[in-house]
Amino acid sequence: FKFKFWVKSASFTLSHNVTCFSIEMIIHHLLIRWPNSLCHFRSEVVSLGSRDAYYSNSGIIEGLSLKAVDIKVGGLSIGRIEAIFDERAILSHIESSNRYLIMIASLEVVFVAIVSLLFSWVLVKELRKLTQAVESIEINGPGRTIACVGDDEISQVISAFNRMSLGLKEQYEQLSSAKEQAQLANSAKDDFLAMVSHEMRTPLNGILGMAQLLEAEVDEGKKEQVNIIVSSGEHLLFIINDILDISKIEHGKLELSIEPFSLESLVEEVKHSFDSVCQQKKLEYIVTTEYVKGIYLVGDKARVKQIIFNLLGNAIKFTEKGVISCHFCWQCNLSILTVTVSDTGIGIPQDKFDMIFDPFSQEDNSTTRNFGGTGLGLSISKKLVELMSGKIELFSKVNFGSKFTVTLPLSPTISPSSTVKKTNSSHLSSLLAGQHILIIDDNKINLIVGKHFFKKLGLNVDSTMDPNEGISLIRSKSYLFVLVDNHMPDLSGPELMKMAVQSDEKPIFFGWTADMSAQSIKDFEQAGAQGVLPKPLTNEDFQKIVTSLSASD
């Protein structure tokens, strides 16, 4: 709504336009006062009433509001505008506008909610497909894809998932193939080690067996040569055992033989085993103890001794002059055996501490050239210590020497009765005297060695290379012991035992084999063997197994 006002006077003429909106609802009265001038007002929309109509005795009527503005030109007041407004009309107008805005906002909210629900439904549907595909990959492996339509963001995510799934499938197939090849190679390695062990132990049985027999018969002049044969053969056997041990440990097949043993006897064995080699290298060899007298422990004595022997062997190997020491300490209150092996050798750089415990590893290649060895001793020792829930610590300084400390938790036990020992020893002597033993082996050298070995123990020995003849002998004669080789052309040892045991009077079967793998031992035990003897055979091995057998009787 527009209205125009103007003023005419002798000095100037004023003309002005004013714009108002919905003025018919708001302005009830408009008055323009001009001093000494004539004012004309024209409205095209509303007709304004008299000003007095909006006043009562107490003032302006309730609900109306007066607004006044002076009109000034150049600081000179030339007039005044007064306007009376209806506040109720303004509030009504605002309320109407608010209702309109609320209605529009409500419609917008409903629209947004509907669109959001539709979008959520589509999104959840696609996400459910992705979830199902991921679960399928978890169960069936990668390669699952999802149908993709469109080029929106969700479709791009699905496309990326499909590419990832197909890429993972390809990598999975490559890894599966590589794993299969590695398993085949590992299996081939195990077979090779078992075969090499068997093929090397068989001639070693002949070498060591005959050399040990010669030791007692040759004169002093030739005894040294025989000792060299024996020590060289035992060293080779030690290397073979190390290789087999590391293979067993890697496959988790190495089992500990837990039984009571004397800590004092272990110390004595350690003390006497390295005397001669230290004397040859002109090294001072010291074995000291704390609280070991009369102590009996429960554990695998052979493996504990192997750990200590490996550490002492390394100490002697890498020490040219000075002292080799081994200290035993039994901590009764903690049930812990601590063994410390020290040397004054070449030492080990600190950055090599971890590496030297890896299989087939030494400080560097020159170490192998200068000192020899397979690099298995420390690795086997560490793994055996961990298998016994112990720990091994190293302190070393280059050119000053090294110190290895082994801590083993072992349970103490009471001392075995001396009467039991005497009874067992007496029982063993009476058990073997004049008794008959049968050896079945397809290797002639093993039969010769076995005959001489058991004749020295007072046994009458029969032998055969033919498994079928062995079965006939078992059925026709009475034997106290029967020793059976495992790998023979016609029958394996366990198969022969199952076929031979058909009478009430059963002999005591022992496996006698160069294959000391866990599977070989298990096969013999399942066939009824009372034990398995290794090749080469020693008096200690045979007496130990027979003594344990007679003690159980």
Phi/psi of residue 351, nearest 5 degrees: -75, -5
Residues 6+ apart with CB under 8 A from 261: 296, 297, 298, 299, 301
Asked if 28 and 86 count as a contact pair (C-beta separation under 8 A), the reply is yes
Q: What residues does 409 pair with on adjacent strands? A: 336
Helix/strand/coil for 296: strand
Tokens 């969700």: give the residue: 154
Do residues 119 and 127 make contact, with C-beta atoms less than 8 angstroms apart? Answer: no
Going by their DSSP bridges, the two strands 284-290 and 323-331 should be labelled as parallel
- The strand pairing partners of 15, in sequence order, are 6
- Measured in degrees and rounded to the nearest 5, phi and psi for residue 235 equal -65, -45
Query: What distance, in Å, lies between the first and last C-alpha atoms of the chain?
Result: 127
Q: Which two tokens stand for residue 74?
A: 């150049």
- Concatenating the DSSP letter of every residue in 203-235 gives HHHHHHHHHHHHHTTS-HHHHHHHHHHHHHHHH
DSSP H/E element including 69:
strand 64-73
3-state secondary structure of 150: coil
Separation between Cα atoms, residue 486 and residue 515, nearest integer Å: 8
* CA distances for 396 relative to 231, 250, 344, 402, angstroms: 30, 27, 10, 4
Give the count of beta carbons closer than 10 Å to the beta carbon of residue 500.
Answer: 25
Task: Check: CB of residue 159 under 8 Å from CB of residue 146.
Answer: no
Q: What are the average pLDDT values for consecutive 10-residue runs of the chain, which has 553 residues?
A: 39 40 44 47 40 56 69 72 70 87 94 90 81 79 75 79 85 89 82 75 83 77 79 78 77 81 91 86 93 91 92 91 95 94 92 80 52 71 93 92 95 68 49 84 90 85 92 89 89 88 75 82 89 83 71 53
- Cα 7 to Cα 37, 71, 339: the distances in Å are 7, 11, 122
**Amino acid (one-letter) located at 494:** P
Name the fold adopted by 425-551. Answer: Rossmann fold (3.40.50)
What is the maximal distance between C-alpha atoms in the chain? 165
Q: How high is the pLDDT of residue 235? A: 74
SS3 261: strand
Residue 475's pLDDT is 87
Q: Which long-range contacts (CB under 8 A, 24 or more apart) does 446-449 make?
A: 446/202, 446/205, 446/206, 446/485, 446/512, 446/535, 448/206, 448/210, 449/205, 449/206, 449/209, 449/210, 449/536, 449/537
Cα distances from 529 to residues 57, 438, 533, in angstroms, run 132, 14, 10
Report the amino acid identity of residue 172. Y
The answer to whether domain 255-413 and domain 425-551 are alike in fold is: no
Beta bridge partners of 541: none
d(CA 72, CA 79) in angstroms, rounded, equals: 7
**DSSP codes, 175-209:** HHHHHHHHHHHHHHHHHHHHHHHHHHHHHHHHHHH
Angle at 282 between CA 280 and CA 287, to 5 degrees: 95
CA torsion sign for 505, 510, 513, 515 is positive
Indicate the length of the chain as a whole number: 553
Nearest-angstrom CA–CA distance, 71 and 349: 102
Dist CA 461 CA 138 (whole Å): 64
Vertex 426 angle, CA 420 and 429, to 5°: 140
Residue 391 is encoded by which pair of tokens? 């720990």
User: What number does CATH give the domain 255-413?
Assistant: 3.30.565.10
Measured distance CA(497)–CA(492) in Å, rounded: 9
| Domain layout of the chain by residue ranges | 20-48+58-87, 255-413, 425-551
